[in-house]
Amino acid sequence: MNGNTNKKIVVVGNGMVGYKFCEKLLAKAKNEQKFELTVFGEEPRAAYDRVHLSEYFAGKTAGELQMAPVSWYTENGIKLYLSDPVVDIDRQRKLVRSHHGIVVPYDYLVLATGSGAFVPAIAGVEKEGVFVYRTIEDLDLIKSHARKARRGAVLGGGLLGLEAAKALLDLGLDEAHVVEFAPRLMPRQIDEAGSGILQRQLESLGLQIHLAKSTQQITGADTIEGMQFADGTTLDVDMLVISAGIRPRDELAKVAGLDTHPRGGIVVDNFMQTSDPTIFAIGECALAHHMIYGLVAPGYEMADVVASRLTGEEKEFKPFDMSTKLKLIGTDVASFGEPFLEEPACRTIRYENKAKGIYKRINVTLDGKELLGGILVGEAEQYNMLLQTCRNKTILPPDPEDLILGSRGGEEAGGAGVTALPDEALICSCEAVTKAMICHEITENKNTSVDGIKKATKACTGCGGCTPLVKDLIQGLMKEQGLYLRNVICEHFDYTRQELLDMVKMNGFKTFSEVLSGLGKDDGCETCKPLVASLLASLWNENVLEKDRATIQDSNDRFLANIQKGGTYSVVPRIPGGEITPDKLIVIGEVAKKYGLYTKITGGQRIDLFGAHVSDLPIIWEELIAAGFESGHAYGKALRTVKSCVGSTWCRFGVQDAVSFAIEVEDRYKGLRSPHKLKSAVSGCIRECAEAQSKDFGIIATEKGWNLYVCGNGGSKPQHAQLLVTDVDKETCIRYIDRFLMFYIKTADPLTRTATWLNKMEGGIRYLKAVVVDDVLGIGEELEREMQTLVNVYKCEWKEVVDNPELKKRFTHFVNAPEQKDPSIRFDPMRGQIRAKEWV
């Protein structure tokens, strides 16, 4: 098709793929090529982002979802007809006629009619209160009806169905149900074990799941009142959203006599040409390689193939990788490659943690050298690199399980990094952006931000799934070149954690909305929300559940307790220095017996109470507070414990009173929020019974005073703390701890323990000692003042909930029945106590 000039191109359909075709054709058109573009759209608005349609319920406007304003079409010479679908194609005369009678000639016709919601033939489906989930207009109808509905259901437990279920939760219905015909959720993407994990995560958020249900009838007079199933059971609902799949919109092609498949779809070849060589079909209406591609990335690739064809380039549409990653109501779900392969065709490695809601599976070749596919549920940080490893047939490390479990035993993580990928590696599937294209922008055009890469290549502008990989590539290349690297938080905040902390403090922002509107953009994400929550707590030490701070917390912080296996919570009162009176021990025992809790002494010299229902938490806290206990902050990135030995109080080897000093230290720093958890200990002599040298800051008594050690930790990668100062008195020791902790809070990256922070610090312990002890930066007194401010405003978070009826209301399992406990929680007896019943 070289040399085609002044060609008339008509596009039928103005969805995401139709819009993308126009964009790509304009970009590819050469100087001598002129196209007259006409676009017909069925909907009343220009193309918008259906991938993020659910964000409409979260407050995003139709304008914010728009791919481009109407003015963009005018500026680019495109005639756009909205609310006017094409109803007839005259292939002999090469004319299209619209619903409103507009007749337009074409040289080439591009059908981008997309798909419609598949509505099963169920009796009563026409009743009021039954909706599909496809367009903004559909969502407006759902929102309107939800105001008078209490119980809603979604028919379909696939990707679209669970998105719709999230919408019902966002709309605040008392009950939200998911009804799925298959025996598991998302049967096309994840296996039975992964589906089970996902189901439990969704149920913990209030969704009620009904599997293996065949809906026979929708009951009610004119308005839906319930659903009747083939097994004889019923479900009372007053609202139903049908999201049972898609059906290609091929009716126009059928009328025009084009070849279509009996089960739907316009048949196309590798160039997206239909049985008429002047008519192309792209997106979800096209049947390519015997399948309908229901994702945006292959639709964009189809658009690129046709745009290339019309501008004289040779490009074919090849079978497309349907790997996908998404977040369903806060839970990561991903699959890639061949996720369902079974032995003996491969070797399968699985990791399952039901307590944390995590499932990972990878399939590797029998010789263990190549990755064939996999599934991730609950935690999908490795998805992008796993996908690249699979696509590019990268040789695996000797222990392939390292790809999903991480490094162990202090070794480096297995597998090569993003910079080791081949140049042709496809980083962004939506826009067909390779590693080489991104590297060119970074090295040649000095584009070193995600926003810059977006503008230059359009990577990260589709589904957004490649953003972490693009960020890693920027960081990797800059490190290789020895360039200064700003580790910005995410696409919503163009600041490092340290910069954002200073900006928030300078502006006096105390809520997430203030921080976002003043320093960020869009709505935020799962990366920046907990980070900002941590910053606000570190700066102001105010209750994490007040104002809009509750909704941006991690799940444990949101309920001021750690969620445990089985769906219950643990209660850990603070026991400073590990010292406790007999009366307080009796109170803990009485509370445990009264509420049926499992008790265990921890390694941090505290007592854990396991098995608490969420609705019991405030009343358990109230009884503990009455006895003089406070929150132990076991749920937060905060000071956990200050262990102690008995020191000179009882031990004949002790040289200082370790218990008293430990209590003083713990009482000073209790509630202090930081980039990661903090642990401390005080030993009364060099025998080191409190293990102070394995703590973030540890204190060891000497004949002359105290030695202070910093930046140690236990765990999977133990590291001894390093000596900061020797033979100081208590007051001096606390002053240096103040400086050390505030310097850590101000300068560490998110979720970085003190040991890792020191390891990455240029100059290491020498530099840290120069800052904290020698005060070479002249900020010592400022750090001490800032710490004292936090100490002065400390309040027990548990007590604030107990004293605040509005905060107490949040601690319920069922919003519409606050007194009812989760009936799915079960316990088994064990050694005179209880344990959470195994999930099945």
The number of residues making up the chain comes to 840
Residues 195/361, Cβ–Cβ less than 8 Å: no
Judge whether 730 and 469 are in contact, CB under 8 Å. no
Q: What average pLDDT does the segment 228-243 reach?
A: 96
Distance (Å, whole) CA 710 – CA 730:
16
Phi (first) and psi of residue 281, to 5 degrees: -135, 135
What is the Cα–Cα distance from 105 to 97, expressed in whole angstroms?
9
Q: What average pLDDT does range 296-325 have in this prediction?
A: 92
Q: Could you give the CA distance from residue 616 to residue 796 in angstroms, rounded to a whole number?
A: 18
From the CB of residue 475, how many other CB atoms can be counted at a distance below 10 Å? 19
Instruction: Give the residues across from 228 on adjacent strands.
Output: 217, 234
Neighbours of 4 (CB within 10 A): 17
Per DSSP (E only), the strands in 397-446 are: 426-428, 433-434
pLDDT in tens, 102-129: 999 999 999 999 999 999 999 999 999 9
Closest CA to 639 of 609, 673, 589: 673
Give the burial class of 220: count Cβ atoms within 10 A of its Cβ; 0-12 exposed, 13-18 middle, 19 or more buried.
middle
Q: Please give the backbone phi and psi of residue 650, each rounded to the nearest 5 degrees, phi first.
A: -130, -30
Model confidence at 559: pLDDT above 90: no
* pLDDT exceeds cutoff 90 at 416: no
Q: Residue 286 and residue 301: Cα distance in Å, rounded? A: 12
Rounded to the nearest integer, the mean pLDDT of the chain is 90
Query: What pLDDT, on a 0 to 100 scale, did the predictor assign at position 411?
Result: 42
Residue type for position 2: N
For 352, the enclosing helix (H) or strand (E) is strand 347-353
Distances (CA, A) of 312 to 358, 503, 569, 651, 682: 49, 52, 64, 88, 76
pLDDT at 133 over 80: yes
- Quick check: 410 pLDDT over 70? no
For the segment 340-380, what is each residue's pLDDT rounded down to a tens digit? 999 999 999 999 988 888 999 999 999 999 999 999 999 88
- 3 state DSSP class of 110: strand
CA gap 507, 407 in Å, rounded: 41
Closest among 293, 359, 333 to 189, alpha carbons compared: 333
| pLDDT in the model for residue 681 | 97
Does 275 score more than 80 pLDDT?
yes
**Would you say residue 446 has pLDDT above 90?**
no
Q: Is the pLDDT of residue 240 over 90?
A: yes
Give pairs for 193-199: CB < 8 Å, separation 24+: 193/350, 193/352, 193/359, 193/361, 194/333, 194/359, 194/361, 194/375, 194/377, 196/359, 196/839, 197/352, 197/354, 197/357, 197/358, 197/359, 197/377, 197/378, 198/328, 198/331, 198/333, 198/377, 198/378
pLDDT band, residue 431 (cuts 50/70/90): confident
Higher pLDDT, 414 or 634: 634
**Bigger pLDDT: 734 vs 245:** 734
Q: Do the beta carbons of residue 364 and residue 396 sit within 8 Å?
A: yes
What's the alpha-carbon Rg for the chain, to the nearest Å? 30
pLDDT at 478: 83
State the pLDDT confidence band at 414, using cuts at 50, 70 and 90.
Answer: very low
The CA-to-CA distance between both ends of the chain, in Å, stands at 60
Region of 831 (left: φ > 0; alpha: ψ -120 to 50; beta: rest) is left
CA–CA dist 385, 416 (Å, integer)? 9
Does residue 707 or residue 50 have the better pLDDT?
A: 707
- CA atoms lying within 13 Å on the CB side of residue 508: 0
In which residue are the tokens 């659903």 written?
Answer: 227
| Amino acid 405: pLDDT | 82
Shortest CA distance to 724 belongs to which of 672, 656, 663, 771?
771
Q: Return the axis-axis angle of helices 764-772 and 730-747, rounded to nearest 10°.
A: 120
Res. 14: pLDDT tops 90: yes
Q: Where are the alpha helices (DSSP H) in 7-69?
A: 16-28, 62-65
> Stretch 211-240: mean pLDDT, rounded?
96
Confidence of residue 409 (pLDDT cuts 50, 70, 90): very low
Over residues 284-310, mean pLDDT: 94
Least reliable range by pLDDT among 32-46, 493-507, 549-563, 704-718: 549-563
Whole-angstrom distance, CA of residue 147 vs CA of residue 52: 23
What b-and-e string marks burial along 743-774, b requiring 16 or more CB atoms within 10 Å of the CB? bbbbbbbbebbbbbbbeebeeeeeebbebbbe
